[in-house]
Amino acid sequence: MSLFAKLRKILRAALLGNPELSRAFDLPIQAPQCEVSVWLHGTGAPRDVTTCHSVACSVPFTLCISGEGRAPLNRRAALRFHERGGEKRLLGVIELQHEAVIPTGGPELHLYKAVACTNLCLPRLRHWVRSALVARAYSKDLASGRMAVSLLDNGCNEIFFFCPRPVALVSVQQAGRCNIFPMNLMGPVGQGYFVFALNSSKQGGTGSGALVDLALSTIPFEYAEQVRQLGKNHHYHSIDFDQLYFATQPSPKLGIPVPHFALAVRELRVEQTHCLGSHTFFIARILHRHVYQNAPEFHRIHGIYAAYRRKSGVGVPNCPKWQPGTS
Ligand SMILES: Cc1cc2nc3c(=O)[nH]c(=O)nc-3n(C[C@H](O)[C@H](O)[C@H](O)COP(=O)(O)O)c2cc1C
């Protein structure tokens, strides 16, 4: 390596930090996670929405939050991510604008589009340098006609993963189509409903033949590597289940093949889909939920929060005892 290349590498590392800061970081956590709490401010009294919000679309960054009461459209609100234990530090804030209300057979779902964000887990200088690089990549992608991720959307996606998110495997079997792929833009929204977001340009969830019924399995951490490898299945409409490296068993109600190592399986029926941009947003009713066993689950956090967590010695505070059947 030339002297110039070496100097460039050293300078880059000093300004940007470890390359791991840009990656997802996997860790085992007993569900439901209780390390970070997420609060909605600006629609009445602040509300803990940790267990009832999810990403509806990554670009433009849009969140779905379930809840009672109808907040006026266009109202500004903010989602604040806090450590739950220790000093309860504020980790990040996503400022939102209320865009739409979606009625369902269960909860009323509110869509909020991001308008600003503040990342409190990165030193300011490092944040500026990273922002400059993201802005440069954005203009290059715009110029070349590729899908461009703005500084705002990128920042919000980072902060969203300051809260540990479980990774599940989705099994699909309908009309001659079989697939199984990992997903983490998802979550329960209460009253027996569940939402998730799938990339609109990939075949896995959104290609021809709308998704109707599916089974969603939560994963013990020791299978994280195998599950990550199934990410490529998002590119395919259908795959050959006989080629899977693990055994499957039929899900209890719909008989959809789920991995033998599933900790719990939710069987879902999709009731609504909304194409919101880079992602299609799915609203599904939970038909049935079965818990097989209890073990630390495969979760993901953003590399920036992983580094912050390591440095500040954040641990997982005592979680409430696990009880079979809790959603
Ligand atoms: C652990 C994991 C979770 C994922 N979750 C989602 C998701 O919730 N929604 C989605 O549209 N894609 C999801 N993906 C798919 C990835 O964004 C990506 O499209 C896929 O891994 C293919 O990567 P490639 O385009 O680099 O080949 C996930 C992938 C992995 C490995």
Q: Write the single-letter amino acid at 26.
A: D
Residue 233 Cα to chain centre, angstroms: 17
Cα(163) to centroid of ligand 1, in Å? Answer: 18
Same domain, 269 and 173: yes
Does a structural domain hold residue 3?
no
**What CA–CA distance (Å, rounded) separates 86 from 278?**
37
pTM over 0.85: yes
Does a structural domain hold residue 309?
no
| Ligand 1 atom, smallest distance to 231 CA | 21
Same domain, 156 and 51: yes
| Ligand 1 atom, smallest distance to 24 CA | 1
Residue the block writes with tokens 């719909």: 254
Same domain, 151 and 56: yes
Does a structural domain hold residue 183?
yes
| Ligand 1 atom, smallest distance to 26 CA | 1
Cα(231) to centroid of ligand 1, in Å? Answer: 5
Query: Within 13 Å of residue 208, how many CA atoms lie on the same side as its CB?
Result: 4
Residue of 22, 53, 31 whose CA lies nearest to 298: 31
Does a structural domain hold residue 156?
yes
**What CA–CA distance (Å, rounded) separates 157 from 97?**
16
Q: Which residues line ligand 1 (CB under 6 A)?
A: 167, 182-185, 197-199, 202, 228, 231-232, 234
User: Domain tally for the chain?
Assistant: 2
Task: Tell me the per-residue pLDDT of 204-228, one tens digit each, with 9 for 90 and over.
Answer: 766 656 778 999 999 999 999 999 9
Domain of 40: which CATH number?
Answer: 2.30.110
Q: Residue 282 to residues 102, 223, 228: CA-CA distances in angstroms?
A: 12, 26, 22
Which residue puts its alpha carbon closest to atom 20 of ligand 1? 231
Q: Please report, in tens digits, the pLDDT of each residue of the chain (327 residues total).
A: 788 888 877 777 776 667 677 789 999 999 999 999 999 999 889 999 999 999 999 999 999 999 865 667 778 999 999 999 888 899 999 999 999 999 999 999 999 999 999 999 988 887 888 888 888 888 888 888 888 889 999 999 999 999 999 999 999 998 888 999 999 999 999 999 999 999 998 877 666 567 789 999 999 999 999 999 999 999 998 999 988 989 999 999 999 999 999 999 999 999 999 999 999 999 999 999 999 999 999 999 999 999 998 888 766 554 444 443 333
Which residue puts its alpha carbon closest to atom 26 of ligand 1? 232
Q: Which domain holds residue 89?
A: 33-163
Which residue puts its alpha carbon closest to atom 13 of ligand 1? 183
The contacts of residue 168 (CB under 8 Å, 6+ apart) are 182, 183, 184, 186, 216, 217, 218, 219
